Amino acid sequence: MSSAAPQTIETPLDARRLRGDFPILAREVRGRPLVYLDNAATTQKPARVIDALQHYYTHSNSNVHRGIHTLADEATQAYEATRDHVARFIGGVKREEVVFTRGTTEALNLVANHWMLHELGPEDKILLTEMEHHANLVPWLTVAKSTGAQLIYLPIDETYRLDMDKLTGLLDETVKIVAVSHMSNVLGTINPVSDIAQRAHEVGAQVVVDAAQSAPHLPLDVDALGADLVAFSAHKMLGPTGVGVLWGREELLGRMEPCQFGGEMIEWVTYEKATWADLPHKFEAGTPNIAGVAAFDAALDYLEEIGMEAIHEHEVEMITCALDRLRDLGGIRIFGPDTFEQRGSALSFEVEGIHPHDLSTFLDTRGVAVRAGHHCAQPLHRKMGVPASTRASFYLYNTTDDVDSLCSALQEAKEYFRI
Ligand code: C6P
């Protein structure tokens, strides 16, 4: 749980060596070595994160910000050290601007349902993109319904990128919020968020960025991105489940009302009224996931030691190899940019004639874990013209051997289903 300055180790990263840090990767599934390609759903945890969880419960378990005994102090220090670490990890922001949530979903709901609900009216517009995950779509649908604000969408083009030429026609002073994913969990597309943010700010809109898929895979500098609010989840970046981050500019978070009320988020309470604690505590009511937050620190250490640039470079290598190999197999339609430029490592596809659920079940018999379905992006799948797709998603511990295993299993599936 150290928060010392990161030390970058050699690059490009040595995935084969790193695999040894992840105990689960040594297991078998259905008698085959596990080939874990469902990293966009959640990533596996290195031993040091698992150890950090155990260490917390074995040595320092207590509640935070409450007691004045040694354990309470250690728990608080561990929890708050991670806040400092997150603040450094996302570009050196103020620690007060880092709010811990349960995940990206909770962070985006906080922004939409507890803030924008009070700021928008029927004359206002919310601009989303056609590739949003439900977490950055459904909360805005409910806000639009309650406030009368209009939802508009920046379309995707035939290359599965945002059609930036359409942005000018959509952006005007009636747009109050632009909410956009940094990287699509389905298409893998990396969106030009800083360009979008600059143009959104010109018309006075606030920019909310869903960084659930980018924070684990790319260097993230929220200020350089031009974002006003950014959400991401620890479990997609080697950390524990049940921990997320909402970063927001101090001035904006200061204006936002808390969404949950109770212990720890107050400054002063009488039988008649209550006032709120300073940032970030006014958004962290009740006992948080202390162990999870403490262990997230170890995940950030790990990512920093490897280096986010090196992780992205490695994934470019994986995706380039996977795109080539899938093309060679034939009969496969890829949903997403077909080159590595502006692309992350989530790779969705359809094998002609095989339903994604059947395919995923077959791949599992070969030890290959992928995701099948709409990946919480139903409107996007409708746009793609399919109800579901199969998705392989790579991370720092995947190797070209995993790509080979995926492709051999796909070839076997084609033979099994007689395609
Ligand atoms: N996507 C996937 O398999 P939570 O569940 O709150 O940690 O993250 C939600 C979320 C928000 N935005 C994007 C772009 C996401 O990809 C996700 C989570 C997982 O694609 C689970 S549906």
Per-residue b or e along 207-238, where b marks 16 or more CB atoms closer than 10 Å to that residue's CB: bbbbbbbbbbbbebebeebbbbbbbbbbbbbb
Distance CA 96, CA 101 (A): 14
- Ligand 1 centroid–CA 349 distance in Å is 18
pLDDT for 117-174, tens place per residue? 788 999 999 999 999 999 999 999 999 999 999 999 999 999 999 999 999 999 999 9
Residue nearest to atom 3 of ligand 1 (CA): 41
pLDDT value, residue 321:
96
Helix and strand numbers (H, E) in the chain are 15, 17
Give the rounded percent of residues in the chain with a pLDDT score beyond 70.
Answer: 97
At position 110, the amino acid (one-letter code) is L
Query: Looking at the predicted structure, is the pLDDT value of residue 395 above 50?
Result: yes
The atom of ligand 1 lying closest to the CA of 184 is 14
pLDDT-based confidence at 43, cuts 50/70/90? Answer: very high
pLDDT value, residue 118:
81
The atom of ligand 1 lying closest to the CA of 346 is 20
Give the residues surrounding ligand 1 with Cβ less than 6 Å away: 40-41, 103-105, 133, 135-136, 181, 185, 210, 212-213, 233, 371, 375-376
pLDDT value, residue 339:
87
Cis bond before residue 280 (omega within 30° of 0) = yes
Angle at 204 between CA 198 and CA 205, to 5 degrees: 75
Catalytic residue among 259, 321, 376, 407: 376
Cβ neighbors of 283 (< 8 A, separation 6 or more) are 99, 101, 110, 246, 253, 256, 258, 259, 260, 265
Q: Which residue in 165, 111, 122, 164 sits closest to 145, CA to CA?
A: 122
Query: Looking at the predicted structure, is the pLDDT value of residue 307 above 80?
Result: yes
Distance CA 91, CA 107 (A): 19
pLDDT for 174-204, tens place per residue? 999 999 999 999 999 999 999 999 999 999 9
Residue 332 DSSP SS3: strand
pLDDT value, residue 4:
40
Active site residue 376: yes
Q: To which residue do tokens 């939409």 refer? A: 112
DSSP 263: T
pLDDT-based confidence at 55, cuts 50/70/90? Answer: very high
pLDDT for 210-263, tens place per residue? 999 999 999 999 999 999 999 999 999 999 999 999 999 999 999 998 989 999
- Ligand 1 centroid–CA 143 distance in Å is 20
pLDDT value, residue 7:
39
- Ligand 1 centroid–CA 378 distance in Å is 13
What rounded mean pLDDT belongs to the chain? 95
Question: Domains of the chain (ranges plus CATH)?
Answer: 15-40+307-416 (3.90.1150.10), 52-304 (3.40.640.10)
The atom of ligand 1 lying closest to the CA of 107 is 6
The atom of ligand 1 lying closest to the CA of 132 is 14
Segment (H or E) for 176: strand 175-181
In a mutational test of the pocket of ligand 1, which residue from 376, 381, 391, 395 has the highest number of ligand atoms less than 8 Å from its CB? 376
Cβ atoms of residues 127 and 170 within 8 Å: yes
pLDDT value, residue 418:
84
Q: To which residue do tokens 């209009």 refer? A: 150
Query: Looking at the predicted structure, is the pLDDT value of residue 10 above 60?
Result: no
Distance CA 370, CA 418 (A): 21
Residue nearest to atom 15 of ligand 1 (CA): 212
pLDDT-based confidence at 341, cuts 50/70/90? Answer: confident
pLDDT-based confidence at 1, cuts 50/70/90? Answer: very low
Q: Which residue in 226, 219, 223 sits closest to 192, CA to CA?
A: 226
Q: Which is more confidently placed, 66 or 334?
A: 334
Residue nearest to atom 5 of ligand 1 (CA): 105
- Ligand 1 centroid–CA 265 distance in Å is 27
- Ligand 1 centroid–CA 144 distance in Å is 22
Q: Which residue in 226, 231, 183 sits closest to 343, CA to CA?
A: 183
Distance CA 117, CA 345 (A): 34
